[in-house]
Structure 1
Amino acid sequence: MTNEWEFKRHRRLRSTPAMRSLVRENHLQMDDFIYPLFIVEGENIKNEVPSMPDVYQISLDHVKTEMEELQSLGIKAVMLFGVPNEKDEEGTGAFVESGIVQQATRLIKSKVPEMLVVADTCLCEYTSHGHCGVIHHHDVDNDESLKLLAKTAVSQAEAGADIIAPSNMMDGFVTVIRQALDDAGYKNIPIMSYAVKYASAFYGPFREAADSTPQFGDRKTYQMDPANRREALREAETDVEEGADFLIVKPAMSFLDIVRDVRNQSNVPVVAYNVSGEYAMVKAAAQNGWVDEQALVLEKLTAMKRAGADLIISYFAKDVAVWLQN
């Protein structure tokens, strides 16, 4: 029987799993992922973060075992966040030689040298007030904060960090850190800039894990207004001009349009940060039996790749490694 209709048959390329796989445009692979780690001072500590199931604060004596697990899963890069016992007004623990991130970095590079260490470069976990810089007149002093951030970056590079990832959102932070690294002899250490970091409600679980909740006010004078799009492109363009080697967009899930915009504007690698609140929501829904966790996570991470991300920072990296192997 001859069909009287004429139309395009797009379903031909969806007919079987093999056919769908053959024409799939975007793929997740373990080379895409950076796994965040929270390192605490002390011994024999492995504390699950209440709002982030399966994510832990770990002490240095657990780091080697953690690295071996990550290696077995095919994860090749970690991002380190430090949780010190002592804090002060200037966040001294961020840049001293004995800082927790510096200790963890030296340990990782001595035990598992092939693991890529990305050092988060900020002060908020180390300051008694919880802000990302020096406080003057009840606000963050941009230029004074830059001096301490530069010291932090150099200290992290000296400890062996492979990539410096400044997350503070101070104006000029890429320029100042790049100059400091170059002057200290670290011209080949790249900067993974948190170029587009919104003042988001999705950071709550992270602040619990990193003990970095501001003790007064908020971070809206330095992190971006979620309503703004063009501002993100100005931030990203400035950071590339100042020497950024990667550009992070954070959060990822609610800002996929920004990921695409930054990808279209820039030729450096774009990194999507699948943040703590995004992780916690999915975990909570899955624990209640409301969603298929594996299907949902793979769908949303693939959406980040489709939007233009080259790399993804995600607490789901371990889960994804298992799922991709099965």
Structure 2
Amino acid sequence: MYGFQVRRRIAISVVTLVVCALGFSPPALADSPNGSYSSQLLYFSVDVGPELSTPCTVVGELFVPDGVDADNPAPAILTTNGFGGSYKDQIPALQNFAENGYVGLTYSGLGFGGTSCKITLDSPAYDGVAASQLVSFLGGQEGIAFTDQALTQPYPALTAVVQDSVDHTGAPSTNDPRVGMTGGSYGGGIQFAAASVDPRIDTIIPMITWNDLSYSLAPNSTGIISGVSTAEPGAAKVLFASLLFGAGIANPGVDGYIADPARLPGCPNYVPYMCNAIAEAVVTGDIGPQVVSELRASSVSSFVDRINIPVLLAQGQQDTLFDLNEATATYDALKDRGVDAKMIWHSWGHSHLAAAPG
């Protein structure tokens, strides 16, 4: 399957390390000796963008271990797909988590896998805000989840997740689940976007993801401003950019465009600047200041000062899309602010996913 997916066994291992370190111990499954669970396909009504003026329907699947309920709640794990994928990619990982006592929700990011609206490259104002509303659902808020795509059959308020009374700014909070996020590549970038807008999220584990998309797609080793960000972009990675762009346009398929015709005008399935960006990269071999600005707006390098929760970074040594420099730049920026951050380097990455265990 096309898409830059994190290998599931690694995901399970690092999530388990972090949630245990934070005291997210799974509940005793006395009524579920075989680690059984139930799952439910759900559709979420979310509003994103300036003044929350853009409605989107997000598709995902919820996993709840047997024996976990309001009287015996568990912590939750939220995850989404890599670029070109869908919520289905993370189902095996969440099945494993559910068997070990965690509530899990996997969903398709905006523009992918049955979810409406356009791809915004994990923009905090769009993808981050959408993820925040899923956090509210995990925290028990009603009126977000439905069992039908027409959004006419509400799903009951979720009561199976441990609740916190204050967020990570110390402010009193409501609908605040004990929740961590995991995922890789595009599913790693969303975690920073979500954490930057929602202090209720407790920890994130971004894997093989970016610090600055302008560096990822047009790297330059001179004129560094900070981290990997430079005053001038370098040569565009035309092959990577073209493959990603094509995957995004094709992802909804004919049925997706018919169901959500708002995806088609302007730049198909992308926010408008992306068509200009790919044309500029292919024709000239580099990208201009406006494109750099737009790419950085969807990069943790621009909002790392809003990340204040424990972070475990995992980055691949065989990765020419998001290299080790990107994770190092994020790690250094977090540590400089006193954020609890750890980093793992592993052998595989976007350039050699076949080497990953699993």
TM-score w.r.t. structure 2 length? 0.24
TM-score scaled to structure 1, two decimals?
A: 0.25
Q: Which of the pair is proportionally richer in helix?
A: 1
Structure with bigger gyration radius: 1
